[in-house]
Amino acid sequence: MLANGPLLCNTYHVLACGLGLNAKKPKRCSKECHMKTLKFIAIAAIATFSFSFQAHSASAQKSNVYSDGDNACMVGDSITAGGWFTCNAMLYYATRFPHMEIRFDNAGVSGDGCNGILWRMESDILPNLDKRRTVTAIMIGMNDVGRSKFSKPERERLGEEAFQNKILSVRKNYADKLSRIVKTLSENSRKLVVFTPSIYDQTAQVKSENLIGVNDELENFGEICKTLSSQAENAECVDMSAATGRANAELQKREGKDKSVIGPDRIHPGFAGGLVMLDAWLSKFREPSRVSEIGIDAKSKALKNQFNCEISNLKFENGRISFDTEAGALPFPVEKKSRNVADLLGFCGKFNREILRVAGLPAGKKYSLKIDGSQVAVLGSQELSDGVNLAENQKTPQYLQAESVYGKCLLFRSKAAEYRGILMIELFNRKDMDKLDTDGKIDFVKRKIQNDPPDSKFILNACKFYVKNKKRQSDLLGELRSINADIYAAAKPKKRSYEIAEIRR
């Protein structure tokens, strides 16, 4: 008879029943019963260890902002309608959380300000919002500030006193209107994020006219944004003014005053500016930094750690290490011409870490790293021991897969910009078009093209697009929903085969 036999029997019976197993309690203890109990406890211990180990494998991360099935509604002017922040955000969330699908809605309109947002709130914005599911972000102010009055001729025409009075009047109007907008969006969203306006680049030495003073006033607008967001219970503020200002100053310090994270028109950020905004967003909400992490000890021939991935078929043979892995995420692919901006932000170190670490290799040796049979790097034993960030390696199959996701995000961005252009035409002509039915609106725009064509090629093309696509408006929205789904389908990680082999001379 084993020591503490009845205790072991009772332990087996309680645990087995708790797990739903068919385990009748014996009338009296026996050696067979005791051995069965010890075997069961050993299996349970292994299962418990396995469970705790797997808790750090695939899908081990959660967003601090979104949940599966949420929708992200981005409200604003042409900076939002252009979609570069949205494109970067879609790319991060699809590649980092590919099993958590978020629906993105671009609710930006070129040329818009607070008045326009209030005009289209009921018809265009609120239908996208769900108190349980929507995280709404708004950035507005670039058009409200009234850039034209900062031109030297206009400022001289007004006179300094009238100029200053106008600034104060516009600022008060912005605060009053934005207060109403924040209240409405807050009441109709699970979470509201208010962005301070991104910078108007007053420091770049580029060809476009420099309206000195615009950015100074936008900073005052930013303080209004901070105050209003602090007054709403479910709202937070992301300081895009500070983020884009710091990044722009650092870029110009490194590369010269002819560079800008915003762009040559001093107003509209492209991918680089959108990346700066994403960096500020991720920092604010402390979103996960790691894509995945693999740690192997070659000396003890053991897997030391795995995070957000599942490792299988680990083998150590003739100076070669091989294994299969399926990660819970993909790396974030940074656009080629914006990698300098990613570097100055330290973006990959902060938010794009796909670490492979192999310790215990002989010193001074070189190793070939192959993934799915293709060589992606030659690495020294010390490099592998320190850890390599594969998210920066553009040759890996997972990076190439992530680039295909980026391509779909670009398609979403361009299609959304076209779709939002339909509402832009109605916003610009709302006094004439508000009471017209669809056919009447199309006829109005046709006449405008024929009799009073816009000077701007951008607006003229938008008018032509309007005439051709107004009746397809709901179909265009369906296309955007389909592209959104395609992005997540393309982002699902695949099982990859790794091989690390010593290069013998």
Asked if the model's pLDDT at residue 501 lies above 70, the reply is: yes
Look at residue 329 and tell me whether its pLDDT is greater than 90: yes
- For residue 486, pLDDT over 70 is answered with yes
The CATH T-level fold of domain 66-287 is Rossmann fold (3.40.50)
Would you place residue 32 in the very low, low, confident or very high pLDDT band (cuts 50, 70, 90)?
A: low
pLDDT of residue 141: 98
Q: Which position has the higher pLDDT, 3 or 412?
A: 412
8 A C-beta contact, residue 240 and residue 195: yes
pLDDT category at 505 given cuts 50, 70, 90 is confident
Label residue 374 exposed, middle or buried (CB < 10 Å: 0-12, 13-18, 19+): exposed
Cβ–Cβ < 8 Å for 61, 97: yes
For 242-275, how does the pLDDT look when each residue is reduced to its tens digit (9 = 90+)? 999 999 999 999 999 999 999 999 999 999 999 9
Average confidence score pLDDT of the chain: 91
Instruction: Taking the CA atoms of 480, 482, 488 and 494 in sequence, report the sign of the dihedral they define.
Output: negative
Residue 83 has pLDDT above 60, yes or no: yes
pLDDT of res. 60: 74
Which structure tokens are listed for 341? 């901006």
Torsion sign (Cα): 73, 78, 83, 85: negative
pLDDT band for position 471 (cuts 50, 70, 90): very high
What is the pTM (predicted TM-score) of this model?
0.87
d(CA 467, CA 402): 36
Report the phi/psi class of residue 332: left, alpha or beta, with left for phi > 0 and alpha for psi in -120 to 50.
Answer: beta
Could you tell me the sign of the dihedral formed by the alpha carbons of 172, 178, 179, 181, in that order?
A: positive
Tokens of 499: 């091989």
Task: Give the confidence band of 306 by pLDDT, cuts at 50, 70, 90.
Answer: very high
Backbone phi, psi, residue 346, to 5°: 65, 35
Domain coordinates in residue numbering, the chain: 5-44, 66-287, 289-505
Predicted confidence (pLDDT) at residue 386 exceeds the cutoff of 70: yes
Q: What is the pLDDT of residues 393-436, one digit of tens each?
A: 999 999 999 999 999 999 999 999 999 999 999 999 999 999 99
Least confident residue range of 45-54, 158-167, 490-499: 45-54
| Strands in 52-197 per DSSP E | 71-76, 103-108, 134-139, 191-195
Residue found by looking up tokens 């068919």 in the block: 22
Q: What is the reported pLDDT for 319?
A: 84
Average pLDDT over residues 285-293: 98
- The pLDDT score that the predictor gives to residue 163 is 97
Identify the pLDDT of residue 68: 96
Whether residue 42 has pLDDT greater than 60? no
- Which pLDDT band holds residue 287 (cuts at 50, 70, 90)? very high
> 298 has which bridge partners?
none
d(CA 190, CA 499): 46
